[in-house]
Amino acid sequence: MNDLTENFLVGTPYSFQDGILKVCTALNTHGVNYLIIGGTAFAIYGRHRMSIEASGKIATKHDFDFWYAPTYENYYKLLKALASLGIDTSEWLEEQIPNPRKSFFRQEFDSFKVDFLPEVIGLNNFDNSFANRKTLLIADTAMHFISKSDLIKSKEANNRAKDIDDLNELKNSSSDEN
């Protein structure tokens, strides 16, 4: 097990690990190009922390954020992955003129929430960030994380209180991983 995998697993509750594995397995099965971003990515470069609501309160459920490649092909792969997770995707499949670049998906499950974003503030090219990704193999499941340098750029651009706290820790962390 490498240091990043250990960082990710240390202190994470089972429901967190189970939820992220379930989602990543579905995405991988359907060939979706994605990156894990936000607080979940922070866990591999910094430490695990509970999800924080916009109000600043600790969330009652884990919140997983994913950035997906906003192409038509990847959009339809994402819809298949969501359907395999039990989500009714008929509304999006029936759209006359879907726009993957503007399609944001939020779903809530029993123990976690998940957001799929077509764009990330501070980063303008999914393909560049995907080329710089950090892939970890956890429980035989590949998980594609945003690079540390791209995570820092995103958090700098967001500039929310929780991002400033994360930035201070990321910039001072001993992790040399990009």
| The one-letter amino acid at 43 | A
DSSP-derived 3-state class of residue 67: strand
Residues 129-171 pLDDT 10s: 999 999 999 889 999 999 999 988 888 887 776 677 777 777 7
* 29 inside domain: yes
The pLDDT value given to residue 171? 76
Q: How crowded is residue 91: how many other Cβ atoms within 10 Å of its Cβ?
A: 8
**Tally of domains in the chain:** 1
pLDDT in tens, 76-129: 999 999 999 999 999 999 888 989 999 999 998 888 889 999 999 999 899 999
Question: What DSSP state is assigned to residue 101?
Answer: G
Q: Range of 47's domain?
A: 3-172
3-state helix, strand, coil in the chain (%, to 5): 45, 20, 35
Q: How far apart are CA 117 and CA 10, in angstroms?
A: 27
Task: Read off the CATH number of the domain in which 113 is found.
Answer: 3.30.460
Residue found by looking up tokens 């600790």 in the block? 58
Q: Does residue 33 lie in a domain region?
A: yes
